[in-house]
Structures are given as structure tokens and as C-alpha cells.
Amino acid sequence: MLNSRRALVAAVFILIVFFLITRSHDSSSGVAPSNTNTEKTSSSNNGGNAADPPADPPAAAAEIPPEKPKPAPVQKPRKDMSRMSTYDKLAYAYPYDVDTKFPAYIWQTWKYGPAQAEFAFGEQEASWSDQHPGFVHEVITDEVAVNMLRLFYAAVPEVLEAYQALPRPVLKADFFRYLILHARGGIYSDIDTFAIRSAVEWLPPQIPRETVGLVIGIEADPDRPDWAEWYSRRIQFCQWTIQAKPGHPVLRDIITRITNQTLEMKRSGKLASFLDKNIVDFTGPAIWTDTIFDYFNDERYFDMRDSTKKIDWKDFTGMETSKRVGDVVVLPITSFSPGVGQMGAKEPDDPMAFVLHNFEGTWKPESERHIGEQQVVM
């Protein structure tokens, strides 16, 4: 009987020990009841107790605004230019934006570069760099001019054809100034000019630069009765110094006119008999002046509904300060022609004198002209 009782006690003892061992194993393994596990998960998601509000973000993170998604780049749709007019091709290749800055370029042309011993305009050329620190200043020679036009006007081949067909170097020189300004903008000035004042001072402070795309000056304002024997137009705008933004409609228009007229004369065989006396009307200040006046009266660019008359020479004769017409600023004769001693022009020390023109080489023989002397096949 004693043995049976001992056996029963031993069995109970073994069961108690087994229960305690099993309970201890469950606690040490970290397994919690399902409701406890759910509460911990909820607390961890809120950064604390389930009833606590979300924590504030760090101060540094709060100061940095979220980055806005960048808009996809807008690509200019490609068009078939083969059926466009020359004017439309030029507008497509070099669109005009008056809001942009005037490019910091100075363009001049001559048959020799400043580094060559034959270059005779060092003082004049240096004046432009001195007055315009930080500008890109280039003196373009014949070979460089041809290569630049090939690059800039590859999409308008008739322009290249017209440039090559022009029979006189002076015609090429005139045409090039319009072409380089249309493609790149900036300032063009003849090699025999001195910069008296920086172009930064050409516009009066009350005229915002983002509203102006072309700056020109008066070359001639003859009031004598026989003016037509000396000048082509009663008011004549000079083209030895021009400031422009790329693609300006006046440049687009004059390039189109010269291109079409040149190719028409080429087809009719009239270029070979071209006379020097026609240069002013063909590529020089006469056609330049006509193109500007046509622009002033163009309904595509100006609201003419309230106009009582066309803008003409009477609006510019005798002016002594700058005058703005749309996006064009016209400077008085003193600005680009000081010291000529007539037509109201004042001396080079006048506050409105910006460029001094020495008038060297304007009608020299072809052997002494710049740009276009080399017959380079385009």
C-alpha cells in the first residue's frame, strides 16, 4: 500500500514539474496572446499609445517645401519647311522674343583679323572692347563669314544662294550685317567706328529693355531743297551701327527682300551688269530705311485702327532725343553721326553721342573692301 501511495505522489510530482516547464517555455519564447499583439501593433503605428496624436515632424523637415514635379520639356514640333516662304522659314528658324535680353555680342567685319599685321583699325576695334567688358567681340573675316552663314542658314538655302550670287563685296558686307544680327543678335558696327559710350547707355532709363528689340540711329536729315541729289531718302536710317535681338521682324523682312531681289536678278541675268550707284537701294541705307518705315506701318505688328496717317520722315526730322515706336528705339543723328557739322548733329562730346564714324572705305575700290572678296562656293 505504501508503494502504491509513493507511486501516486511521484506521478503527481512529475505532472506538476511538466506543467511548470511548459509554462516557462511559453513565456521565454516571447509569444503573446493575440489581443496583446494587436495592441502593440496599434501603438507602434501611432508612435506611442493608441490614443496619442501623431508626432510633429522634425523642424528641419517642416522648413523644406515638397519638391514640385518638373514639367515635361516642350519640344518644338518639326515642320516641313520646303513649301514655306523665305520670310516664314526665317521666322521658324529664328523666332523673335522681345522679352529676352540684348545678346552681349559685338560683330565687325574686315578682310583681315586683329592679329594680322595688315589690320589697320586697332584703335577703333579696341574702343568697342574697352567700352563693353564682358561682351563677345568678333571681327569676322571672309572665310569665317561664309562658314558662319552655312551654319546659321542651312535651313534657308536660298539665303546662301543669294549671298554667293551678290556681285560686289560691298553688297555682301551689307547683307552679312543683317544676317548675323538676325541669327545671333547683339551689335553690328563698321570697323571704322569708335565706341564713345557703352551700349548700356544707349537707351534712356525710362524705356524698359524687355520692351525693345531694335535700336537704330538717323544717318541723314537733310532740310535743303536739293536733298535728293545727296541722299536717297529725306530721313535716312544708318546701318553702320545697329543693335538688335535675334529674329527681329525688320531683319527678317530685309533679308527676304534682298534674297528675292538677288535671285530674281540672277535668273534674269541682270546681276552681271549691276552698277555701284545702285548699292544704296539694293542692300544699303535706302532699302534699310524703307524696310523700317514699312514695319512702323505694318498692321501685323501695330494697331493702326486709330491712326490718322502713316508714320513717315516727318515724325523724325529735327529730333534731338530718342524716340520709341513699338519695339524700336530711334536715336537722333548725334548718337551715331556726331561731328558731321550739318543736319543738327552735335559734337562727339555731347551726352547723346554714342558712336563716331570715320567714314573710311565706304566707297573704296573692290580690292580694298571687306567681306565677300573671296569667291567661295557655298
pLDDT of residue 76: 58
Residues 54 and 94 in one domain: no
Q: In this structure, is residue 378 part of a structural domain?
A: no
Q: Are residues 45 and 131 in the same domain?
A: no
The answer on 96 and 59 residing in a single domain is: no
Residue 8 has a pLDDT of: 55
pLDDT the model gives residue 303: 85
Per-residue pLDDT tens digits for 257-300 = 999 999 999 999 988 888 777 888 999 999 999 999 999 999 99
Q: Does residue 364 belong to any structural domain of this protein? A: yes
Residue 164 lies in a domain: yes
Within-domain flag for 71: no
- Give the predicted TM-score (pTM) of the model: 0.76
Same domain, 133 and 268: yes
Q: What integer pLDDT is reported at residue 14 of this predicted model?
A: 60
103 and 48 co-located in one domain: no
State the cell numbers at 9: 505522489
| 190 within domain boundaries | yes
Same domain, 361 and 247: yes
Query: 39 with 155, same domain?
Result: no
* Residues 172 and 263 reside in one and the same domain: yes
User: What is the per-residue pLDDT for 9?
Assistant: 53
Q: Output the pLDDT for position 78.
A: 67
Query: Based on the domain organization, do 154 and 49 belong to the same domain?
Result: no
Query: Residues of the chain whose pLDDT is less than 70?
Result: 1-78, 360-378
Residue 236 lies in a domain: yes
CATH of the domain at 275: 3.90.550
Q: What domain count does the chain have?
A: 2
Structural domain boundaries, residue 37: 2-63
Residue 339 lies in a domain: yes
**Domain annotation covers residue 352:** yes
Check whether residue 171 and residue 315 sit in a common domain: yes
- Check whether residue 299 and residue 348 sit in a common domain: yes
One domain for residues 204 and 332: yes
**Residue 312 confidence (pLDDT):** 96
At residue 202, the pLDDT reads 98
